[in-house]
Amino acid sequence: MITLFGVFLLCLLLITAIAIVREQNLFAAVMLTSIFSLQMAAIFFILDAADVALTEAAVGAGVATVLLLGALALTTNHEQEVKRHKAMAVVVAAFTSLLIIFATVDMPRLGDPMAPAHQHVAPWYLAETPKQVGIPNVVTAILASFRGYDTLGELFVIFTAGVGVLFLLTNSPSSSPSRLPSADAQGLRHHLVPRVVGRLLVPFIVLFGLYVQFHGDFGPGGGFQAGALICAGLILYALIEGESAALLVVPRSLLLALISGGALLYLAVGLAGLLRGGNFLDYSVLLSDPVAGQHLGILLVELGVGLTVTGVLLTIFHAFAAREQRS
Amino acid sequence: MEIFGLFNYWMFVILLMTGIYTVMSRTNLIKKLIGMSIFQSAVFLLYISMDKVDGGTAPILQPGAVDVIYSNPLPQVLILTAIVVGIATLSLGLALVVRIHEAYGTIEEHEIREQDRV
Amino acid sequence: MYYVATIGILVTMALALCRALLGPTVYDRVLAVNMFGTKTVLLLSIIAFLYGRPDFLDLALAYALINFIGVLAVLKFVQDYTLRQRSQAEEP
Amino acid sequence: MNLELLATPTSWVLLIAGSAFVLIGGIGALRMPDFYTRMHAASLTDTLGTILILAGVIVQAGVSLAGVKLLAIMVFMLLTSPTAAYALANAARLDGLAPTLSKPDPGDS
């Protein structure tokens, strides 16, 4: 029965994707994108990936829509109708999809326990996590401990993307200074209902983000989800109280410290392992008890991830919003 | 449910090609970026489809439970990080588009080409 | 019994998607997004129970907390847009 | 004992009533003639449907961590969903989207 629900949601997903492509109004396309993200999260959850669904929820619901709308505000929200290579694109896409569909016939069926993907390292991770790491959430254990190098790399990709956005959007303004009324910078302050509810909810969102951050060893969660959630809470504050008020709460210097501090914390935990005679990112040597060492290492590493993700996403948001007021 | 055994993969293929089609046939740069994120989501779907085990549950160990089948945690780790990296790189792309708009006054690819030719 | 509720929610999702596709204004689409978000929260809470893993309610909680940020962003976007239009109309 | 016997049918009734309201809201959002009436249909039934469905699941969960989480979800939904409706109606009004008023009766000259 649940398989059928999944099939139904996948059909809705495909319809949404095609609608996004056909939509000429970019604002409407962005709205459809956020429906797409909701459907993706539900499908991930049905396919047993609670952690991934939580990440998609945290990123897709708040941050992605806000960033896309910010970019639309700086450019244009209508797409020109251009007839260009359309027929050829259809032919290429159709031909390639037939080719890949032909290839999928050899794939193991959905949920097949004998599929090669489930034979190799996955049983080892599931069996060794309780013994070596001692936390229930295997996803967090692999993310932070077994495949810590991977996550370090991903974190630096995020770091680099944040630095890139800063380089691109915070140069000195080429155009004349603000020709907008100053009321624009005040956000939604004169809308009473969002203001009251928003002010009430911001602490809860940040609190929930902290819960997701530190409960990530036991339930779905971890640094990536928590970073996106906390960032969503702070974006909410910036929306209702205005850009400048939000920058008073979390100033730019603190944001830069968060971005680099998180990445450096991750590196420092790795180097601490080296100094104590283990390998890089080997947490077992951090304390005398290897399992306790793993606990400490995962906690610190996830904290580093959370700090950097919060910092980068929030910096990107501020970069777009500040550009908007200037242009 | 046997007939739906490959359905997820077919949907993955069609979504992937929808993304590619958008990138090829549209000239609007933001639309192209949205197409790329559809493409990316299709890849996420492929990986997450591969982690499912029949009768399994999410790989968060339940204390005291025996004979529980857990789904494969490894694809989830890969995709979890990829989603956040995806939004970071998407915003880098959007920042580039914003700068292009400031320099050329348009985000349509053919108009940018024409301005470059002159 | 959970199945009946799930089917009801899924059908409503399809109806909301129809509204999103039909438009006609962009606000109808935003309305559809909002409806879809509420239905997703309900769906996730019910499926958490169907799976017998109620500890996964965190997901529904996350959506319940942050799903309306998108709509507030829309309000801000429209407000800035109209302000800009107005100031451009006054300039010449 | 008695309470437990009562719990299952109660939660059934709540869940079915909730999904009925949700469904009615969906149909209303599809069939109503203009944006504001559609929003009216969607946002009102959203609130009631959410209360009923989540209450049905809470009855099943009983007094536990899951029950408390569900209660929190319900409270937050009751706060955010009308706020979203407010913001949406405001945005549409700011943009100058006018509600369709009742058409003059053709028999009435």
Separation between Cα atoms, residue B116 and residue B110, nearest integer Å? 10
Share of chain A above pLDDT 70, in %: 94
pLDDT of residue A186: 66
pLDDT of residue A23: 87
Residues of A in contact with C41 (CB under 8 A): none
Question: Tokens 């993700």 correspond to what residue?
Answer: A309
- Chains contacting A (3+ CB pairs below 8 angstroms): B, C, D
D79 closest CB neighbour out of A188, A191, A197: A197
Interface test with A, best of B27, B87, B112 (most A CBs within 10 A): B87
Contact (CB, 8 A) for A260 and A315: no
Q: Which residue of chain C is at minimal alpha-carbon distance from B57?
A: C51
pLDDT of residue A12: 93
pLDDT of residue B51: 87
Residues of C in contact with A65 (CB under 8 A): 69-70, 73
Separation between Cα atoms, residue D23 and residue C4, nearest integer Å? 12
Write out pLDDT tens, residues A200-216: 999 999 999 999 999 88
> How many C-beta atoms surround the C-beta of residue A319 within 10 A?
23
The string of DSSP letters for D5-66 reads HHHHHHHHHHHHHHHHHHHHHHHHHHHSSSHHHHHHHHHHHHHHHHHHHHHHHHHHH-SSHH
Q: What mean pLDDT comes out for the span A270-298?
A: 87
Write out pLDDT tens, residues C23-44: 788 889 999 999 999 999 999 9
What is the pLDDT confidence band of residue B35, given thresholds at 50, 70 and 90? very high
Residues of C in contact with B60 (CB under 8 A): 53, 55
Contact (CB, 8 A) for C87 and D102: no
pLDDT of residue B52: 87
pLDDT of residue A180: 47
Q: What mean pLDDT comes out for the span D97-108?
A: 63
Write out pLDDT tens, residues B45-67: 999 998 888 888 888 888 777 77
- Chains contacting C (3+ CB pairs below 8 angstroms): A, B, D
Q: What mean pLDDT comes out for the span A17-22?
A: 92
pLDDT of residue A151: 92
Separation between Cα atoms, residue B27 and residue A72, nearest integer Å? 16
pLDDT of residue A263: 92
Looking at the predicted structure, is the pLDDT value of residue B91 above 90? yes
Q: Which of A309, A142, A153, A301 is nearest to A229 (CA)?
A: A309
- Alpha helices (runs of H) in B1-118, residue ranges in sequence order: 7-25, 29-51, 73-104, 109-117
Q: Which of A56, B18, C68 is nearest to D43 (CA)?
A: C68
Q: Which range has the worst mean pLDDT, A149-153, C78-82, D15-19?
A: C78-82
Q: Which range has the worst mean pLDDT, A70-79, A141-150, B98-107?
A: A70-79
D80 touches A at CB < 8 Å: yes
Write out pLDDT tens, residues A67-97: 999 899 888 878 777 766 788 888 999 999 9
Geometric angle at alpha carbon C68, from A205 and A322, rounded to 5°: 80
Share of chain D above pLDDT 70, in %: 89
pLDDT of residue D105: 55
D83 touches A at CB < 8 Å: yes
Q: Which of A285, A287, A278, A191 is nearest to A239 (CA)?
A: A191
Residues of C in contact with D81 (CB under 8 A): 34, 38, 68
Interface of C with A in 22-81 (CB under 8 A): 23, 26, 29-30, 32-33, 36-37, 40, 43-44, 47, 50, 53, 55-56, 58-59, 61-63, 65-67, 69-70, 72-77, 79-81
Residue A160, helix vs strand vs coil: helix
ipTM, interface predicted TM-score of the complex: 0.92
pLDDT of residue A83: 66
Chain-wide mean pLDDT for chain B? Answer: 89
Write out pLDDT tens, residues D26-35: 999 888 888 8
Chain-wide mean pLDDT for chain A? Answer: 87
Q: What mean pLDDT comes out for the span B6-10?
A: 89
Q: Which range has the worst mean pLDDT, A186-195, A295-304, C13-22?
A: A186-195
A21 closest CB neighbour out of B18, B84, B87: B18
The helix-helix angle for A26-46 and C2-22 (nearest 10°) equals 160
Write out pLDDT tens, residues D58-94: 988 888 888 899 999 999 999 999 999 999 988 888 8
pLDDT of residue A177: 45
Separation between Cα atoms, residue A117 and residue A326, nearest integer Å? 51
What is the pLDDT confidence band of residue A303, given thresholds at 50, 70 and 90? very high
Q: Which of A239, A309, A188, A308 is nearest to A66 (CA)?
A: A239
B105 touches A at CB < 8 Å: no
pLDDT of residue A40: 93
A32 closest CB neighbour out of C29, C43, C63: C29
What is the pLDDT confidence band of residue A104, given thresholds at 50, 70 and 90? confident
pLDDT of residue A217: 86
What is the pLDDT confidence band of residue A35, given thresholds at 50, 70 and 90? very high
Separation between Cα atoms, residue A167 and residue A182, nearest integer Å? 26
Beta bridge partners of A137: B60
B24 closest CB neighbour out of A47, A92, A220: A92
Residue type, A35: I
Residue A77, helix vs strand vs coil: coil
> How many C-beta atoms surround the C-beta of residue A20 within 10 A?
24
Contact (CB, 8 A) for B25 and A89: yes
pLDDT of residue A219: 85
pLDDT of residue A326: 65
Q: What mean pLDDT comes out for the span D98-104?
A: 68
Q: Which residue of chain D is at minimal alpha-carbon distance from C49?
A: D57
Looking at the predicted structure, is the pLDDT value of residue D99 above 80? no
Interface test with C, best of B53, B54, B57 (most C CBs within 10 A): B57
pLDDT of residue A173: 55
Q: Which residue of chain D is at minimal alpha-carbon distance from A240?
A: D87
pLDDT of residue A3: 84
B68 touches A at CB < 8 Å: no
Between A240 and A82, name the one with better pLDDT.
A240
